Structure 1
Amino acid sequence: MARVTLVKPPPPDPNKAPIENVLEVTELAVLGPNIFTNTRQPWHPPGARGIYGGSVIAMCLAAGQRTVPADFSPHSCHCYFLLAGSGDLPILFHVELVRDGKSFATRTVQARQHGRCIFTTTISFVRQRPSTDQVVSHAYPMPRLPSGAPIPCPPDSDTQEPDLVVGSPFQSGPITIINAASPHAHEKKTRQWLRARGTIAGGTAAHLAALAYVSDSYFIGTITRLHRLWRFPFKAEELDNLPEDMQRRVAQLNEWEGLGDLRDLVGRPSIGMMVSLDHTIYFHEPTRVKADEWMLNEMESPWAGDGRGVVTQRIFSKDGVLLATCVQEGLVRLKQEESSKGKESKL
């Protein structure tokens, strides 16, 4: 039986948050300089083509961070998903030290399985400047309620999450779709509160890796919510034929994601294939990221067409600081009419 990690995984560290254990990487100096591997098996979402992309983004970032001085933090991360990653094979993270300057450092990281590159990213790091420096400064403001009041974050006690998302290293609130009645997808936005479970002990680098991990959650899937597309692996008309418990769980998840009653989606187009192609993160305030505190995620899509879609994301701290801006493009294909059945869809 193939091993899912090159080194036997240690037991989870109870002094760390669950996300820190999930994203831990191990250096493999025996194979060469600046080579790392996943310490534990990455998550493969049910029904997905490969492992969760956010885990690969975050582990690449963690590996790159290990090769720069402690006072350097990432300010941008440009990624490409090349092949679906397997949850049953170890991943090797090869870090190339592209440039080291006084203020900036650049790293490229390739994630490889069986000698094939499944993911690549270029990360730029910046040395933290003294807060006394005069700088040009502005930031997109945190969204507010129509009344002008702040959007209340969830209570610190556990929220009532759907059964299908319980167990994630991140806790999340329900998704709200803003301007949901608009006939134009580009006029809508989604908002959601989220935070890492537990208390992150590993400092700024661990908080940033956690933010990178969750930045891929629901990202390109925003297209399905803005267009109200059917995305479950059964036809809408077959809902009543499912076991009652499964009906309840699917309906709960659908409502949690801001889409209301499942039966309102009967007759809507269905997603045939949805895959992330690239992913960019701009870290605006690296040292102020506290991923184990509530963060507000806001997403919108300026464009979709030609089988692809683009989604932008802003992540705010609970006190209104714009922590990061993210952009993702993905493959978004609809199921075609029955007449085209049998024609294999290839990327």
Structure 2
Amino acid sequence: MVRHRLGHRPCTLRITSMSNCCSPSSAQWRTTTRDLSDPVNPTTPCNPEQSRDAVTLPGGAFHMGDHHGEGYPADGEGPVHEVHLAPFGINVTTVTNAEFGRFIEATGYTTTAERYGVSAVFYAAFQGQRADILRQVPGVPWWLAVKGANWQRPNGPGSTLDGLEDHPVVHVSWDDAVAYCTWAGGRLPTEAEWEYAARGGLQGARYAWGDNLALDGRWNCNIWQGGFPMENTAADGYLTTAPVKTYTPNGYGLWQMAGNVWEWCQDWFDAEYYSRASSINPRGPDTGARRVMRGGSYLCHDSYCNRYRVAARNSNTPDSTSGNTGFRCVFDSP
């Protein structure tokens, strides 16, 4: 068994916030007041060919929410409620570095992290010089604000994408994800569509594959094993991201709907939304400050962030970027 003892200790690592430990908000670590409101990216025709690795789901009714009473109250995973969805298509994996690179080449798009010049990197993955670390994220010191970290330099300016072509693209904001999906002829999934897809036809299951985290002694997702945040045994095979077609797909043929990277959804986040949500194709609140993220990431661990369950919810501001956040696209049926 490969055991990663994480010797780089920026300071005493102590969890102080459940809401921001998973993926930090840019407001916690941003050191620039650069105005990103002006459009800087060209309008380009969409490329529907990018939707080729997708499956069409039949839609219908399912019961959304936490069936096991394991959610964090502030996340608003209840009440369990019936939702009816129209058919839709969805990418079988999150968008990869290779796919995102084709989008950048075709459009000249500049990502949020590139425009800010900084993004959040997990401290044990950091590659670069100490001068590249602008600050530690307050309250969650395992996150570093790293100058020059972006989708092409996922672990900092000393890193590259060599060998990571089939890994999920990271350091993408909600805005970046929307831009890519639009170019690909799709959109981000609604939160309800994401959960329906993640369940893979299993009603009320805890995970995308059933109720047990490991099956026959095998890990089914890329999350943290060991004592977070100082030791990762890498029993699942990876310290950070894994290739997008690792482990086993769910019942709908979708890969890694749990762990690996957080996935942006279309909806604004509201912890009280389920109590008033429409039962037919819900689209989330009309306004908000944070967008929904689903699925968990390679940093999730049941001791502090048990959010790799199918019903688990998280959120972040639309301009936030980090080394454990990505996305996949959905496509409206004709």
Q: Same fold (TM over 0.5)?
A: no
Whose strand fraction is larger, Structure 1's or Structure 2's?
1
- Smaller-chain TM-score range? under 0.3
Structure with higher RCO (Cα < 8 A, 6+ apart): 2
TM-score calculated relative to the size of structure 2: 0.25
TM-score calculated relative to the size of structure 1: 0.24
